[in-house]
Structure 1
């Protein structure tokens, strides 16, 4: 059966391997489009997966980036989010791809990352994996939660124990405004005491959204809260 690339619609050439003789993962992107996804590798910030090799030395504090260092210096936020892992660099290709996915309602585009997400999660231990929720208003606008869809396409059953109040988009706020804003998440009646929680979102930018969710969970008794994101901005 001939498949077409989810991004450019060209025919996807099947790549054969020894593993493929016994178990074959479906290909959703052609080789050219697949090659434009940049996996995050090399020397990374232990806090947020940012590439330290690409940063000037004045933006690095030992083995963490300056942003994570600032979070650690704030007693309100220190240790709230144990760490963030990200799979890909948020380059121009992925930015355009995710824009089509999130804002033009092309739900099927989530399939391209199913194998990567599934493989990564197989190496992690957690009690609950929680997609960062959208407010009801934002969910109505988009028609689906992009983070939930990414997990579901990866055959992962998420825990929907967080809800979100409607607020202005984070991208329109300065870092100071994000830090000052009131808690935008609410926790459903669920006992998270002593639990290991993994938050999941599509993009890590400043880390504010993830830390707000993590703080709510930590205050409710969660033992540790980490996060996994598809991309690191």
Structure 2
């Protein structure tokens, strides 16, 4: 087996050296401060805690080994990376109890090039490992004029919509019991995609919605 990051021969998805580098990129190691309320790693308590303020948790910095894992899986079709990325999600997701997982969908072009929706696959693995449920509630609508926007304009908008065929199932999940819903995504830049996803869900249903992110750029 070859290491997913450095391509050295190893007996696991990451070699021991890359595992250490990956851990060093985690906020748990990078941040020496902890939120006095919940214990989440924070840069400085004066800035507040993303978990307490916005129900948001993230693993680490989008750099080095973590960046290699995400880009290799998301753009180069290194499908084994799904299992390694799912492992990083497990302790984050566990902080929310037993949530219903909602993956941010891949773009249509991304699904065509890879042959799968990268976050949906990671979510499926998490559900199997943690005995959770998920719903593919969100979709990327056809881009249309979205492709003509500048990078800055794209960062300020979103083409997410609700998947109509799963709305009825969502209604059932909402009515069945007090469920927490958790949005999963790989990279957090401006936060616009996650905010749009939560707005869509909470405008239709009055339910708590949190975020789990692998990397913050």
- Decide: shared fold, TM above 0.5: yes
Q: Which residue of 1 aligns with 2:13?
A: 28
Larger radius of gyration: 1
Secondary structure of the residue that 1:32 maps to in structure 2? helix
TM-superposition CA deviations, 1:178-207 (whole Å, max 9, x none): 43x365222432214664210001111111
Q: Distance in 2 between matches of 1:200 and 1:103?
A: 18
- Kept in 2: contact 1:84–1:228 (CA 8 A): yes
1:232 correspondence with 2:216: yes
Q: Which residue of 2 aligns with 1:97?
A: 69
After superposition, residues 1-233 of structure 1 pair within 5 angstroms as 3-12=1-10, 27-37=12-22, 38-41=25-28, 42=31, 43=33, 52=43, 62-64=46-48, 82-154=54-126, 155=128, 157-167=133-143, 168=146, 173-174=151-152, 178-179=155-156, 181=157, 184-187=160-163, 188-189=166-167, 190-191=170-171, 192=174, 195-233=179-217
> Which stretches in structure 2 are left out of the alignment for 5+ residues?
none
> Displacement, 1:219?
0.4
> Displacement, 1:51?
5.4
Distance change >3 Å, CA 44–CA 145, structure 1 → 2: farther
Distance change >3 Å, CA 177–CA 97, structure 1 → 2: closer
> Displacement, 1:124?
2.2
Q: Distance in 1 between matches of 2:14 and 2:75?
A: 20
- Count of aligned positions: 193
- Kept in 2: contact 1:86–1:230 (CA 8 A): yes
Distance change >3 Å, CA 7–CA 214, structure 1 → 2: same
Q: Distance in 1 between matches of 2:111 and 2:14?
A: 27
- Kept in 1: contact 2:2–2:9 (CA 8 A): yes
Q: Distance in 2 between matches of 1:8 and 1:92?
A: 10
CA RMSD of aligned residues (A): 3.3
Q: Distance in 2 between matches of 1:116 and 1:184?
A: 25
Q: Distance in 1 between matches of 2:158 and 2:17?
A: 44
Distance change >3 Å, CA 212–CA 153, structure 1 → 2: same
Q: Pick the structure with more helix per residue.
A: 2
Secondary structure of the residue that 2:80 maps to in structure 1? helix
TM-superposition CA deviations, 1:40-85 (whole Å, max 9, x none): 1224799xx89535xxxxxx9x3249xx8xxxxxxxxxxxx93211
Q: Distance in 2 between matches of 1:12 and 1:177?
A: 40
